[in-house]
Amino acid sequence: MGILEVKGVNKRFGGLQALGNVNLSVKENTVHAIIGPNGAGKSTLLNCLVGKLIPDTGSVMFDGQSVLGRAPYEINQMGISRVFQTPEIFGDLTVMENMMIPCFAKRDGAFELNAITSIPSQKDVVEKAEAMLVDMKMIDKRDMHAAAMSRGDKRRLEIGMCLSQEPRLLLLDEPTAGMARADTNNTIDLLKQIKEDRDITIAIIEHDMHVVFSLADRITVLAQGTPLVEDDPQNIKGNPKVREAYLGESA
């Protein structure tokens, strides 16, 4: 029994079958990669997991509880954090403020009218956020406007924000898309570090095979909205069906 169990999920957009009978099981404390060619339905699947879309049929269970019909923030509070393809951070706020927000969300839940206490007096949150900035090696950028940072830094910040919520499942949507090689390698190292240091399950959607094979414990290949194969990385590499459907074009 995996921490995330997707069973028989279908999703249509008008005449287009975006997802057809998707089954997926993500084991706890593993890195599970979902790969597939463009339009294979990877992002649609991800959106079904976090509450942005609701599947037409099927079930999505997280740790034995259904996530379907819940708002994104509720699913997040269950322990699923998501990193977006283009970093979604609070651009108008400072790096430190960015980091404090998930810490407040973890401590206070979805809503708390904490209107007259001052932020510096919330020592636990401040310390936690600072510690995370140290972990992410960006404490020196503490008071910078988040929007002014490089893309790699924004990505790191976003991952750090997700981690400070102590999620049980971290969803990564093409975390290295559009990054230079050096930034990509940094991100891989960061994710490896996270995998080693924390009890965390990671599901990753990725295009870059270098990233996938560096990190994944298990791989699901999606093609035309259906899972083609699910196997270990070395087996996937050798699988002719996968080569044909996906790797063939990019290898």
Partner 1 sequence: MLGLDKRDATLLIIVTLLTMFAPFILNPFPEGSAMAQFNAGYPDLMQRFVIFGIFAVGFNILFGLTGYLSFGHAAFLGVGSYSAVWMFKLLSMNVVPAIILAVIVSGLFALVIGYVSLRRSGIYFSILTLAFAQMSFALAYSVLTPITNGETGLQVYNDDPQYLMGPDSPTVTNLFGLEMRSTYTLDMGPWSFDFNAGYYMCALFMLAAVYLSIRIFRSPFGLMLKAVKSNQQRMNFTGLNTRPYTLAAFVISGMYAGLAGGLMASMDPLAGAERMQWTASGEVVLMTILGGAGTLIGPILGAGFIKYFENIFSKINDSVLHQWFAFMPDGLEDFMVFIIHPFIGKGWHLTLGILFMLVVIFLPGGLVEGGQRIAAWLRSKTPGAKDETTKSTEPAE
Edge-to-edge strand order for the sheet containing 80-83?
80-83, 169-173, 201-205, 31-35, 218-223, 226-231
- In DSSP terms, 22 is beta-bridged to 9
Smallest gap from Cβ 245 to partner 1, in A, equals 31
User: Residue from 5, 56, 63, 97 that binds partner 1 (CB under 8 A)?
Assistant: 97
Q: Which residue of 5, 58, 104, 207 would you call a contact of partner 1, by CB under 8 A? A: 104
| Count of CB atoms situated within 10 Å of the CB of 66 | 11
For partner 1, give the closer residue by CB, 71 or 134: 71
Q: Which of 119, 134, 148, 180 binds partner 1 (CB under 8 A)?
A: 119
How many residues contact partner 1, by CB under 8 A? Answer: 41
- Residue 121 interacts with partner 1 (CB under 8 A): yes or no: yes
Among 120, 123, 124, 238, binds partner 1 (CB under 8 A): 120
Mapped onto helix, strand or coil, the DSSP state of residue 215 is helix
Determine if 127 is a binding residue for partner 1 (CB under 8 A).
no
List, edge to edge, every strand of the sheet that includes 4-13.
16-26, 4-13, 57-62, 65-66
Burial of 30 per CB tally in 10 Å (0-12, 13-18, 19+): middle
Q: What is the DSSP letter of 139?
A: G
The residues binding partner 1 (CB under 8 A) are 50, 71-74, 76-77, 81-82, 84, 88-93, 97, 100-102, 104-106, 108-122, 125, 161, 165
